[in-house]
Amino acid sequence: MKNSVIVFWSATGNTEAIANELEDALISEGSTVKKLFVDDATLEDLENADIIALGCPAMGAEILEDGSMEPFVESLSNFNFSNKKVALFGSYDWGDGQWMKDWEERMESYGATLVSEGLIVHLHPEDEDIQKCKEMAHKLAN
């Protein structure tokens, strides 16, 4: 059984809804899941996981939330991602997803191997988005 950790930040509940869907999908794949709001997460939580999913909505000019999520992501610059499957997700209201493209490149520069492109959801997850959560969970768990 694989251990998963989902660390996220959410202002409106949309990114949290994605985290909830991803949690359900990972459990369905047979993984144990620890879901944490970023302020409650530690590097030890990530060290103890086989699977890491990080979630943050696009903020401002398509950047990560800078009060909690940005410092947490910055703390991963020297994290050992060996033998860990990693995925990124988040919601947006406008823009073209540049924040996710930038985040993907950043995580790869930190040594993370992403299982897929980041999952971006316009506002609240709908049926098609929930299916994408299931597909991402399958890639993470297998």
**Identity of the amino acid at 64:** L
Residue 12, pLDDT above cutoff 90: yes
Q: Give the H or E element holding residue 32.
A: strand 32-37
Q: Which two tokens stand for residue 93?
A: 């209201």
| Residue 122 burial (C-beta neighbours within 10 Å; 0-12, 13-18, 19+) | middle
Q: Which fold has domain 3-141?
A: Rossmann fold (3.40.50)
Question: What pLDDT is stored for residue 2 in this prediction?
Answer: 95
Question: What pLDDT is stored for residue 51 in this prediction?
Answer: 98
Question: What pLDDT is stored for residue 94 in this prediction?
Answer: 86
Q: Where are the domains of the chain?
A: 3-141
Rounded-to-integer distance, Cα 65 and Cα 22, Å: 20
Segment 44-50 shows an average pLDDT of: 98
Residue 15, pLDDT above cutoff 90: yes
Span 98-123, pLDDT tens digits? 999 999 999 999 999 999 999 999 99
Question: What pLDDT is stored for residue 61 in this prediction?
Answer: 83
User: The whole model's pTM is what?
Assistant: 0.97
